[in-house]
Amino acid sequence: MTRWVNRLVDRPGRTDLHRYDKVVAKAATLEDEFRALSDDDLTATAIRLRDNAPSKFGADDLARVCALGREAARRALDQRAFDVQLLGAAGLLSGHMIEMDTGEGKTLTGAIAAAGFALQGRRVHVVSVNDYLARRDAEWMQKVYELLGVTVGWVDQHSDRQQRKDAYACDVTYASVNEVGFDVLRDRLRTDPDDIVLPEPDVVLVDEADSVLIDEATVPLVLAGSVEEDVTDHAVVDIVRRLELDKHYEVDPEARNVSLTDAGVDELERWLGVDLYSGADSDLLNQVNLALQAKALLRRDVDYVVRGDKVELVSAARGRIARLQRWPDGLQAAVEAKEGLASSPTGRILDSIVVQALIVRYSTVCGMSGTAVRVADQLAEFYKVETGRIPTNVPCIREDEIERLYSTVPQRDTALIEFVRTVHDTWRPVLVGTQSVAESELLADRLKDAGVPAVVLNAKNDADEATLIARAGERGRVTVSTQIAGRGTDIRLGNGTDGDQERVAELGGLCVVASGRYHTGRLDDQLRGRAGRQGDPGSSVLFTSLGDDLVAQNLPAVKKPAPADAEGRVLDRRGQEIVEHAQRIAEGVHLEMHRNAWRYHKLLDVQRNIVLEHRDTVLHGNAGLERLREQAPDLHTDVEEDVVEAAARQIVLFHLDECWSEYLAYMADVREGIHLRALGRQTPIDEFHRIAVDEFSGLLTDTYQRSAETFESATITSDGVDLGSLGLQRPTSTWTYLVTDHLHGVPEQNLAGYVGGRLRTSGIMSALRRESSS
């Protein structure tokens, strides 16, 4: 009855996975039978299941997969899968998202499910958040797969083309979401079918699903080429650096927009010796705006770090270096100039894809995370999957203390330092979660001053993360870390020696301390979940303040309650409600940004598929030549037909790729200013779609017009066609990176702030002032 009532009150996108309890019970009845088999017989049993697999597994088949996976793990890893792990595997095999707490064994659960899909005759990509986890999990689970007759491979950023092709040819392939996306982009520009590395997408099993599918859903993965010279004027950056906040420029309370004041406009025009808004030099105005954004909105050791001679972005969702990630070229160059560094190469975008579009290509999407249920409605909205929770194997006994709220950030930090010192004096291990690189280092220094040595884990030393996190449960250890999500390593109590785990448990286990709330409660839950794994004792407490960025950016004008004691601690319930409300607003803003970004990307994705479908017919056949022969039937008839066909194929592919790249660049420019259509009482998204449809309608026509001109002027010999001699040169090198999408929020949401800033910076007010004074 309780379960039935829970089903009625569940939010959209949630499901009850206890329907698979019978599958787990059936698997238990097969355990003795499979344990009696030799390794070869166990493998043969799995292969027989594969040979006779239906298109969709029934309950009995799921039970056999779970039982086979349990026995293979017992032999290969000396681990007998818990019932809850088999329940999770059954949920994944049925195409669901599952929520499993930290330390409950998601890696093995995912491996059993991936093997089950492979035994159905399907090809599986296990997608993780980074290369380290992809390789670690593939190598860790390899013997389990081998016992089940399933091949497994992995891909990372160091894999060459042949290694990638071999890995993707396996039944199960582990890779980071970035590497899969970049391989998709590279395959889309192949001119020889034999060079394609990726098979058709089938099943994707996503680890840390909410991080990949929600937090990074609209991050564009970009393939670029054709290096261009940097046009950033360092003198502009130097001049903008002299501007003063509130005197020359203003930043809105949410820290998403910056605008010049009248005094700032006058000062810049005097220094630069130009009229900024005359329209004579729009590029200079653009450089000023980018330099101002770099100065006022992007913070070193918060949004990015400088390592060596490079600016490296910090992932807000993970608190570590975002590999290969960059801002749009102009802003990236402005930040590099701000830091006195040489500009990194820029270039023309050849193609791009957002993570969400990458994932929805697969016919089956499933995944797992420690906090998936909190975004079940979003997973259902964007990916059409339901989410269910897997119970813990052992009841969680972690004690989550009441949040400690303070009036100001300094008061919060003072109380936090004293709390950590007190706990450390008992020799309990402590994990302190922070919001940024700068904050992690500041708190570590203050702890050191208080006599508490701390180890810091942040974006500057994330190469050591597995070791540092694994040791965070040692007796007397204090670890200060940025965002803990996706670290992929359990925190076990003690140092692994006999009796040490029990000694740390007797002290109370790991104590998790949070310095402020994150923009979403999911990340708070992930931090708390680092304590109390597998029935261990532990505790957690959040230290927050009414001066935290979360409150300042989302409820800047709210009236704050007075502190209740001399230390600045706020006991008034209204103060707690303010923080909770600010977090709900932040979650709503991020959801709307996701929805809005997807609305813009979705049409482009549909158009991209049209182009790719046509490209595929050209690449694998003679469609290009047939189309060109319609316009020039008598050309190149003195050359072997297969040679002409190959030449026509290369010509059409070149121009098709070129036209698509130009279209992307054009639509990127449209997107930048489309929100201004609201000033004319037009709906920006509708106008964007109208422009996109109109512009795209001529893309194939333009492609074949250019192709026909090239076909007519080209010299085709028995060796084919030399496009380079015609000035048609593909990039000599390409590179991949990610772009931070909507860095400062959704354009439409910022329109009011933009208009106000534009009025200030357009010179209108200055002109009116000068006119009235004369």
Per-residue 3-state assignment (H helix, E strand, C coil) for 355-390: HHHHHCCCCEEEEEECCCHHHHHHHHHHHCCCEEEC
- 103 annotated to bind ligand: yes
- The domain of 328 spans 231-342+753-773
Q: Is 737 helix (H, G, I), strand (E, B) or coil?
A: strand
25-29, 248-252, 584-588, range with the lowest pLDDT? 248-252
309 and 373, same domain (yes or no): no
Measure CA 205 to chain center.
15
Residue 577 lies in a domain: no
521 and 471, same domain (yes or no): yes
Q: pLDDT category, 428, cuts 50, 70, 90?
A: very high
Please list, in sequence order, all residues whose beta carbon lies within 8 angstroms of the beta carbon of residue 671, skipping any fewer than 6 positions away.
600, 688
Q: Is 465 helix (H, G, I), strand (E, B) or coil?
A: helix
Residue reference for tokens 């001699």: 725
Q: In the chain, how many domains are there?
A: 4
- 576 annotated to bind ligand: no
Q: pLDDT category, 11, cuts 50, 70, 90?
A: low
Query: Is the confidence at residue 751, as pLDDT, over 50?
Result: no
Residue 350 lies in a domain: no
- Give pLDDT tens digits for 175-229: 999 999 999 999 999 999 999 999 999 999 999 999 999 998 998 898 888 555 5
Residue 33 lies in a domain: yes
Closest by CA position to 742, among listed 308, 189, 229, 215: 215
Residue 697 lies in a domain: yes
- 717 annotated to bind ligand: no
Q: pLDDT category, 766, cuts 50, 70, 90?
A: very low
**Rounded to an integer, what distance in angstroms lies between the CA atom of residue 174 and that of residue 140?**
11
Q: For the chain, give the percent of residues with pLDDT over 90.
A: 60
- Give pLDDT tens digits for 334-366: 888 888 888 776 678 899 999 999 999 999 999
- Which of the listed residues 571, 605, 626 is the one where a domain comes to its end? 571
Residue 680 lies in a domain: yes
Higher pLDDT: 737 or 573? It is: 573
For residue 560, the domain's CATH number is 3.40.50.300
| CA distance readout (Å), 689 to 104, 206, 603 | 46, 31, 7
Q: Summarize the confidence of residues 390-404 as an average pLDDT.
A: 94
Please list, in sequence order, all residues whose beta carbon lies within 8 angstroms of the beta carbon of residue 549, skipping any fewer than 6 positions away.
255, 435, 516
Residue 580 lies in a domain: no
304-318, 420-434, 467-481, 707-721, range with the lowest pLDDT? 304-318
- 490 annotated to bind ligand: yes
465 and 337, same domain (yes or no): no
524 and 668, same domain (yes or no): no
Residue reference for tokens 């072997």: 640
The answer to whether the beta carbons of residues 590 and 570 sit under 8 Å apart is: no
Closest by CA position to 314, among listed 482, 480, 524: 482
599 and 550, same domain (yes or no): no
Query: What's at 20, amino acid-wise?
Result: Y
554 and 641, same domain (yes or no): no
**Rounded to an integer, what distance in angstroms lies between the CA atom of residue 634 and that of residue 725?**
23
For residue 283, the domain's CATH number is 3.90.1440.10
120 and 25, same domain (yes or no): yes
218 and 168, same domain (yes or no): yes
Residue 137 lies in a domain: yes
Q: For the chain, give the percent of residues with pLDDT over 70.
A: 88
pLDDT of residue 310: 83
703 and 640, same domain (yes or no): yes
Enumerate the H helices of 273-369 as residue ranges.
282-296, 329-338, 355-359
For residue 662, the domain's CATH number is 1.10.3060.10
535 and 602, same domain (yes or no): no
- Which of the listed residues 538, 571, 604 is the one where a domain comes to its end? 571
DSSP-assigned beta bridge partners for residue 23: none
DSSP-assigned beta bridge partners for residue 225: 348, 734
- Which of the listed residues 509, 538, 571 is the one where a domain comes to its end? 571
- 106 annotated to bind ligand: yes
pLDDT of residue 98: 97
The answer to whether the beta carbons of residues 204 and 364 sit under 8 Å apart is: yes
pLDDT of residue 754: 39
493 and 509, same domain (yes or no): yes
Q: Summarize the confidence of residues 14-25 as an average pLDDT.
A: 95
Residue 21 lies in a domain: yes
Cα-Cα-Cα-Cα dihedral sign, residues 644, 650, 656, 662: negative
Measure CA 737 to chain center.
12
- 745 annotated to bind ligand: no
- What does pLDDT average to over the chain? 87
218 and 236, same domain (yes or no): no
